[in-house]
Amino acid sequence: MVKPKLLIVDDESNTSILIRNMLEELGYNVAGLASSGKEAIQKTLQLQPNLVLMDIILGGEMDGVDAARQIHDSLDVPIVYLTGHADDDLLYRAKLTEPYGYIIKPFDESELRTTIEIALYRHKMEKLLKESGKHYKAVCELTSDYIFHINVSKDKQILFDWITEGFAPLTGYTINEVNSPELWHKIFHPDDISKIDEALKNLIQGNEEKYECRIITKGGETLWLIVNMQSEWDTKKQNVIGIIGAVSNITERKKADEQIKESLKEKDVLLDEVHHRVKNNLQIISSLLDMSSMKTENQEAIALFEESRNRVDSMALIHSQLYQSERFDRIDMEKHIQGLSGNLLNIYSKEQTIALDIKSTNVYLPVTQAVPCALVLNELISNSLKYAYRKEQKGLISISMQQSNDGTIITKVKDNGVGIPEEIDIEGAKSLGLRLVRNIVYKQLNGKIEIIRNKGTEFIIEFKSFKEEV
């Protein structure tokens, strides 16, 4: 098999050598290199290459566009432009030379090979179509399963001229049957007939049309097609004399799309049901804890029931937000912190005047991190409300959650109360609440905790956010 001969035109020798080596590795025959427009014309005449790779911007009196125009006018050699940049005026001039491709630097071997092969194939087809005289240009530009041509008479009547093989077996109708006026309203789906009629009117006026439609085969099967059509003008471009089109059978793609949509609907319904049931079950647990606390007068037991109920309510808030959201993959933490802290303030701040300062900007967590994070916040805010202030004392609890550029979540809970005792630290904490905080942060969030004692108590928690696993 004879290798195609290529000519490379670039005023940068290093670039030319790099492209030549790349092309030779791909199996092409690089007949020569040229560094100027004049040299490109001379070598094209001398070497008779099958294709010229032409840099648009060349040094000297003649740029790549001028050289390509002269080659185009004198020789039937396809040109593929190769450049790193060009202004709008240069691009407009380049289009007028009817190039067979345009590659932007930098490019890879795959892109270069694909462009060259398409250009060579297109040029070959154009030569064959010129020789046969059968609508070579439009047929070459349209790539699809079936290509057809429709004649348009002077009185705007349409008649199929030809269509590629395969359309008859697809539909079950011959071309003679397709040309029957009665068949038009028989072959197309009733809901798509008006669309077809409107498209044909637009095409007769000289417009292009691309649309999806359904046809009903002779055997009664419904097929989805995508049709791309353009008008064919006479030599003076005064009247539309034909319509050239391409048809692709997209029935299988449509079926696959519908299956995916149905699968997604089923998944949404399942997730909705799961979160709904979890939320309801958590609310039932909270109610049971509340009822249990009402059956005892032991204050220590009542406090334990209340703390447990608050933890359950914190998780229930997460699932309530999920149930109300259109998305199941993330929780708006600002919204959750406001709901959680407000609920805890109503429970504990009965004899103090405590204000909340909440700052959280665009922090969203997957449910696998949002739930443990909510439990940690529940413990820290509850501790501040219960232990940081004396009776009738005014106070301020600041809660912030921010996300850094590297995905680190920084959460702070600070109060201006009496301060946590020095002997209490997170590592040796004996209370259930702080042990819960420690275990959740270390084991579930893979984070770290810092306690700052300065005119109150501040807890700083850091952990990395991650995407919800599917």
Given this model, what pLDDT does residue 469 score?
44
Domain end (from 183, 214, 249) = 249
Q: How big is the chain, counted in residues? A: 470
Mention every residue, 6+ apart, whose C-beta is less than 8 A from residue 285: 312
Domain that holds residue 324: 253-328
Residue 28 carries which side chain, given as an amino acid letter? Y
Same structural domain, 343 and 444: yes
**Tell me: the pLDDT tens digits for 330-386?**
788 888 888 888 888 877 766 568 888 888 778 888 888 888 888 888 889 888 888
Same structural domain, 391 and 426: yes
Whether 13 and 35 have beta carbons less than 8 Å apart is answered as yes
Domain end (from 186, 216, 249) = 249
In this structure, the number of other CB atoms found within 10 A of the CB of residue 203 comes to 23
Closest residue by Cα to residue 148 from 233, 244, 250 = 244
Q: Do the strands 29-34 and 51-54 form a parallel or antiparallel pair, or are they unpaired?
A: unpaired
Name the most confidently modeled range: 198-202, 409-413, 433-437.
409-413
Same structural domain, 365 and 419: yes
Q: How far apart are the first and last CA of the chain?
A: 51
User: Quick one: average pLDDT of 31-39?
Assistant: 90
Q: How confident is the model at residue 327 (pLDDT cuts 50, 70, 90)?
A: low
Same structural domain, 29 and 125: yes
Same structural domain, 359 and 315: no
Residue 195 in tokens? 């669309």
Same structural domain, 108 and 150: no
Whether residue 459 has pLDDT greater than 90:
yes
Same structural domain, 354 and 445: yes
**Angle, to 10 degrees, between the axis of helix 64-74 and the axis of helix 88-96?**
10
Closest residue by Cα to residue 399 from 333, 320, 444, 347 = 333
Mention every residue, 6+ apart, whose C-beta is less than 8 A from residue 1: none
Split into its structural domains, the chain has a count of 4
Please give the helix or strand (H or E) that residue 72 lies within, else none. Answer: helix 64-74
Alpha carbon distances (Å) from 285 to 46, 96, 277, 290: 90, 76, 12, 9
| CA–CA dist 247, 105 (Å, integer) | 34
Given this model, what pLDDT does residue 435 score?
85
Given this model, what pLDDT does residue 52 score?
92
Whether residue 223 has pLDDT greater than 80:
yes
Whether 394 and 353 have beta carbons less than 8 Å apart is answered as yes
User: Quick one: average pLDDT of 429-450?
Assistant: 87
Cα–Cα–Cα angle for 132, 135, 136, rounded to 5 degrees: 70
Same structural domain, 80 and 172: no
Residue 333 in tokens? 């933490």
Percent of the chain, pLDDT > 90? 13
Q: How confident is the model at residue 431 (pLDDT cuts 50, 70, 90)?
A: confident
User: Quick one: average pLDDT of 129-158?
Assistant: 64
Closest residue by Cα to residue 462 from 415, 396, 400 = 400
| CA–CA dist 195, 247 (Å, integer) | 16
Same structural domain, 281 and 151: no
Same structural domain, 148 and 120: no
- Of 143-147, 207-211, 394-398, 428-432, the range with the lowest mean pLDDT is 143-147
User: Quick one: average pLDDT of 95-115?
Assistant: 85
pTM above 0.85, yes or no: no
Same structural domain, 401 and 469: yes
Whether 38 and 67 have beta carbons less than 8 Å apart is answered as yes
| CA–CA dist 368, 466 (Å, integer) | 9
Q: What CATH number corresponds to the domain at position 203?
A: 3.30.450.20
Residue 329 carries which side chain, given as an amino acid letter? D
Same structural domain, 169 and 280: no
Domain end (from 328, 350, 378) = 328
Name the most confidently modeled range: 131-140, 180-189, 413-422, 429-438.
413-422
Given this model, what pLDDT does residue 470 score?
38
- Of 166-170, 256-260, 435-439, 461-465, the range with the lowest mean pLDDT is 166-170
- Of 35-39, 168-172, 282-286, the range with the lowest mean pLDDT is 282-286
Residue 33 in tokens? 């290199």
**DSSP string covering 293-353:** HTT---HHHHHHHHHHHHHHHHHHHHHHHHHHSS-SS-EEHHHHHHHHHHHHHHHH-SSSE
